[in-house]
Amino acid sequence: CHTSGMLTPNGKEYAQKIPREELTHLILKLLQAWKEPLSNFNQHHQELPDDSLSKAKQISNMVHELKAGVEKSMGIISNSLNGLTSSEAGGLSISNEANMMSDSDFLHCFRRDSNKVQSYLKILKCRIMPENSC
Amino acid sequence: GQSYPGKPKIVRCRSLEKETFSCWWKPGSDGGIPTNYTLFYSKDSEENIYECPDYRTSGSNSCYFDKNHTNPWTIYNITVMAMNDIGSNSSDPLLVDATSIVQPDAPVNLSLETKTSDNTMYLWAKWSPPPLADASSNSHVYHYELQLKPEEKEEWETISVGVQTQYKVSRLQAGVTYVVQVRCMLDLGEWSEWSTEQTIQIPSEWSPPAKPTIIKCRSPEKETFTCWWKPGSEGGHPTNYTLLYTKEGEEQVYECPDYRTAGPNSCYFDKKHTSFWTIYNITVRATNEMGSNISDPHYVDVTYIVQPDPPVNVTLELKKPMNRKPYLVLTWSPPPLADVRSGWLTLEYELRLKPEEGEEWETIFVGQQTQYKMFSLNPGKKYIVQIHCKPDHHGSWSEWSSEKYIQIPTEFRVKDMIVWIVVGVLSSLICLIMSWTMVLKGYRMIAFILPPVPGPKIKGIDTHLLETGKSEELLSALGCHGFPPTSDCEELLIEYLEVEDSEDQQLMPSHGNGHPSKHTKMIPKETDSDSGRGSCDSPSLLSEKCRECRSLLSTLQTKDISDVQENKGGKRSWETQCIASEQKILLCNNESTKSSTWPTAQLPNNQPPMFAYHSTVDAQKITLITTNVNTAPVLVENEEEHQYPTTETVHNNMENQREMENLRSKSDQTTMQVKLSRPNDKSPFLNPKVMDYVEVHKVRHEEPAVLLKHKENCGKTKKYTVPGTSKEYTKVSTVVDHNILVLMPDTCIQHTSVSQEPAMETSTNLQQGQAEKNKSYCLTAPSECKKETNGSEYMDPSSFLPSFK
């Protein structure tokens, strides 16, 4: 996976130990890393049946919205300058790598990373707002 | 029969060890009597004959030669003789050489064992020589032979053993069951029988172990996980299992950190060894003495193999809010290991429910909440409920929690019972009352509710025509033309209102039947006298008439009289209503001083009177009403509390247009101007085309006659009379030629005098029995009943006028 290079906590304890901001950054980084590959995927795979295609588009939109939502809720304005450059630089190589992946790998990596993001977000949520079903 | 014995036969002679031998014979036929057997023998060529020394040792029909009697290298000549009382018989002689008949018994105590030596496995067979009666002679040397085969096979493999009583067999197949037998032989003679079979299975530890398989890996709380494997089918002797794994992206191979915690054939990875979002490559190796075998690799990402424990602490609480049905709240807790608080693991719950005796479960998805409210359970029934959970993303459902029983207490609310009891009692009371009234007044009730429709009974009228014909035909038959009223009838239309001061009043044109309302009273009025009123229409006449009725009227005064008086136009019509016998009486009352002229007389156009017939053929009464358009006279109808035909006073033509319409419409409703047979019904009964009219009140059953405004004696209850009508009516006796009314001869004359009283009576009756619908009122009958034929086919009641004078 193109995101394998990122250092992400691999377990509950590690995830809980990380301070909030770092975790948030991590989440955003992950989300950012998938923006381009997803759009590329959608572009290159026009031959898919319509419902799959629409689903894929829907997912990329969701990723985008999720990123925006996290940014907003965490009070982060945008990718902010420090993040931007690194993500830009990393983004290119990452997207190159992503292009080389096979479809099944692509999906597998995406599934895993989305699971990661979900778990981190949940931990964040229960840290910030413990009363709601936590 | 008895005879000498049959010939015996020597079966065999045998020696076990060369030193003794036995002979057996088979007896011949019995001969019927006890037979004695004797064995004689001789040796070699000697002539001495000896008898068997021992008949017992070897069993029945045998002879045993012990050591002393046995000489090897000697030929014995043996004969058996059977003897009985009758005769004897002897067998053929048998030459026996002691040495040649040697056959030992089979060896005994065969035992088998498998042994391993030098990494080879062999079968070790052991046995013992056949036992001898004479244990001392152990010097015999037996030769042995062994045969074996795999159990399923047919062919034996024979192995010559020699003189030893054991043997080791190699080259055996692992895992096969073998069958082994052994026999022996002395140096001379024959082989013994084969010993009994012995079987043995060769264990399969010969081969390396079979391939194990990894069954599954599970994580109960998304922090640790366990893997289980299954050994191969051929479980040889001590096999060692080792689990090895590698992680994604790493090359190093690790071994299972913990083989014990999760039980046999399992491996438990604790928190330290569990990484998420990495794929583990897990294999199991089985090792034994012969070799090892490795399972197929199993790839696992812990994130996707989460299967929690079932929820715990399932509790039920019955809540009874006010004003609402009680409901049940089911609560539970997530399994203890799952860390839901930190959000690391989010669980979704699902519960299933079924009545205790039911077959199918009803599954309800609950979501992430840990409680559930149940509203729809039946009280009194017992339910079983179970809950299970799964992670909200990837993962599998846990096992179902243990069964929880629910029973809703039946709430037998006293209030409900009371309500039901009251309802039951009331309804039964009502039923009783209804049935009682039915019994008592059944017929009348029915008639009250559904009054029979009277049919016209006019002699000479074609009843069939009445039944089927249209109004036009009927009326034409009777000589009426132009009915229902057409537009040029407007002038003729006399509408009259029957005004009552009771609640039963109806305003004819504006209401349907049965709507009591105030009617404008018909005001008799002296109208223009230019109308050609009949004599009976003269106001004076009417007034006279009215006087009689005034007493009746007295009770009935409408408020609106004055109004009506002012407004009235020239037309009045009045109808009489003939109602079914029990019912009302139509009273037309001439109200006050005003007498209404007989409208018929006033018809300017000489139009034929309109006859109103009851639309139904069987109307018992027919009321004919002709409206006199231009007549001033107002027929004031006596109001009664009961039903009156409502009539409208049409004040003038113009005014009455509307009313005409109404009337017309009303009349349209019936084929003829109908006197509604309905009780309480003052049907608008307007016949705008009335010229003269004959009011037919009733057709008496007995006589197919149209009773025109006939005042009859009150004695007949079924008469409708319009008391106070100052009209003259003539009873029509018959209708001739379908258009001629034949009036009755004046039988009614005598009534006139009587009319007064009945009028009085009726008035009193009226006063008395207002509520009674069954009153009948008498009308003063026209004194004259005349037969009159009229070219215009109507009755001119004026002819009757004299009677009123």
Q: pLDDT for B742-799, tens place per residue?
A: 556 554 444 444 334 444 444 444 444 443 444 434 444 444 444 444 444 444 555 5
Q: Which of B275, B393, B394 sits opposite A10 (nearest CB)?
A: B275
Residue B325 exposure: Cα atoms within 13 Å on the Cβ side: 12
CB contact under 8 A, A118 and B393: yes
Whether chain A has a CB inside 8 Å of the CB on B249: the answer is yes
H or E element that contains B571: strand B571-572
Cβ partners under 8 Å of residue B313, min gap 6: B331, B332, B333
CA dist B73 and B430 (Å) reads 131
Q: Is residue B182 part of a domain?
A: yes
Would you say residue B749 lies in a domain? no
Those of residues 301-330 in B touching chain A at CB distance below 8 A are 301, 303
Contacts of A13 in chain B (CB under 8 A): 271
B167-171, B284-288, B723-727: least confidently modelled range: B723-727
DSSP assignment of B638-698:
PP-SS-----EEE-SHHHHHHHHHHHHHHHHHSSS-----STT-------TT-SSB--EEE
Q: Which of B287-291, B328-332, B796-800 has the lowest average pLDDT?
A: B796-800
Query: In chain B, how many domains are there?
Result: 4
Q: 10 Å Cβ neighbour count for B337?
A: 14
Kindly state whether residue B459 falls inside one of the protein's structural domains: no
Domain boundaries, chain A: 12-128
CA distance B708 to B730: 5
- The answer to whether the CB atoms of A12 and B222 lie below 8 A apart is yes
C-alpha A118, offset from chain centre: 9
* Residue B766: inside a domain: no
B525 domain-assigned: no
Interface-testing mutation among B277, B306, B345, with chain A (most A C-beta atoms within 10 A): B277
CA distance A70 to chain B (A): 17
CA distance B408 to B382: 7
Digit-coded pLDDT (tens) for A60-89: 888 889 888 888 877 765 445 445 445 544
What's the pLDDT score for residue B513? 42
* B93 and B117 in a common domain: no
CATH number of the domain residue B118 falls in: 2.60.40.10
pLDDT digits (tens, 9 = 90+) for B488-498: 545 555 555 55
CA distances (Å), origin B248, targets A12, B252, B276, B280, B284: 19, 10, 11, 6, 18
What is the C-alpha separation between B502 and B500, in angstroms, rounded? 5
Residues B400 and B324 in one domain: yes
- Do B120 and B92 lie in one domain? The reply is no
Residue B429 has pLDDT above 90, yes or no: yes
Residues B64 and B13 in one domain: yes
Tally A–B CB contacts below 8 A. 53
Residues B324, B296 share a domain: no
Rounded to whole angstroms, how far apart are CA atoms B302 and B282?
12
Report d(CA B532, CA B725) in Å as an integer: 19
Domain boundary residue, one of B176, B202, B228? B202
CB atoms within 10 A of CB A128: 13
Please indicate, yes or no, if residue B452 is contained in any of the structural domains: no
Q: For testing the chain B interface, which of A112, A114, A128, A132 should be mutated: the one with the most B CBs within 10 Å?
A: A112
B286: domain range?
Answer: 213-301
Q: How confident is the model at residue B461 (pLDDT cuts 50, 70, 90)?
A: low
**B509 occurs within a structural domain:** no
Residue B282 in contact with residue B247, Cβ under 8 Å? no
Q: Indicate the angle between helix axes A50-73 and A103-128, nearest 10 degrees.
A: 30
| Residues of chain B neighbouring A8 (CB-CB closer than 8 A) | 277
- Whether residue B44 sits in one domain with residue B90: yes
pLDDT at B576: 38
Q: Are residues B53 and B119 in the same domain?
A: no
pLDDT band of residue B483 (cuts 50, 70, 90) is low
Is the pLDDT at A123 greater than 70? The verdict is yes
Nearest-CA distance B303 → chain A (Å): 8
CB contact under 8 A, B339 and A122: no
pLDDT at B356 over 90: no
From the CB of residue B595, how many other CB atoms can be counted at a distance below 10 Å? Answer: 29
The verdict on residue B442 lying in a domain is no
Cβ(B499)–Cβ(B682) below 8 Å: no
Residues B275 and B330 in one domain: no
pLDDT at B268: 93
Residues B355 and B276 in one domain: no
- What residue has token string 């003495």? B289
Which residue would you say has higher pLDDT here, B187 or B552? Answer: B187
Hunting for tokens 């002691």 — which residue is that?
B98
pTM (global) more than 0.80: no
pLDDT > 50? residue B709? no
Q: Which of B389, B413, B437 is the last residue of a domain?
A: B413
- β-pairing, B94-97 vs B75-83, is antiparallel
